[in-house]
Structure 1
Amino acid sequence: MQVTTIEKMKSFSPEKMKKINLFDTKNLFCDLYCFEPGQAQKPHAHEGEDKVYYVLEGEGSFRVGAEEQTVKAHSAVLAPAGVDHGVTNRSSQRLVVLVLMAPKPHHH
């Protein structure tokens, strides 16, 4: 059984958002995205993969398609395949997001 402790995996960088891989299988990947205040993941899309963002700590501004919404801890956001999506930490606190994507993209 693979078990990972999120608290021990969290890591932040003053330069840019940190992506920390938690699980990586042939079917999916699960990452931790750690944002300092003001950091962002620029909008992008994945043609064949749906993505779920789950906010663990803080709050972020999530964009999916033309919609943008502030989402707080303990809430999840779905970014369907082929739709532009991104995250910005506009708060003064750190933002930690659990990210699941399946099927696993070929480039990851």
Structure 2
Amino acid sequence: MKDYKVNQRGAKIYSDPNKHELLQIPTLKNTNEDGMVYHVLSLGVIGTHSTGMVPVATIKDSEGKVAAYRLPPALADWVAFNMGLGVNVFPSDVEFGIIDGRPNAEVL
């Protein structure tokens, strides 16, 4: 039995969130520095309310490879907000950075 599903964008979504790599997000000195820009195809969560909801992003890299990555828990509200907009803004480029110890994401 498979322990993953393939989402609509073509990425494997494992039932165990720990099987997903954590997205690499650079630490920035201030808001004037540029973060890392990723081409985000979709956002979602893995898990249940009882086991914990883990935010994930499906990303397409510059070589065309599509994969789902775990996001830091601090971005769970950002994911929930974007999922609840009623308008799908993805795929979009998103700039990620850690400022003052807190991960940030901004749709470009």
- Which structure features the higher share of helix residues? 2
> How does the TM-score come out when normalised to structure 1?
0.30
The normalised TM-score by structure 2 is 0.30
Structure with the greater alpha carbon radius of gyration: 2
Larger strand share, 1 or 2? 1
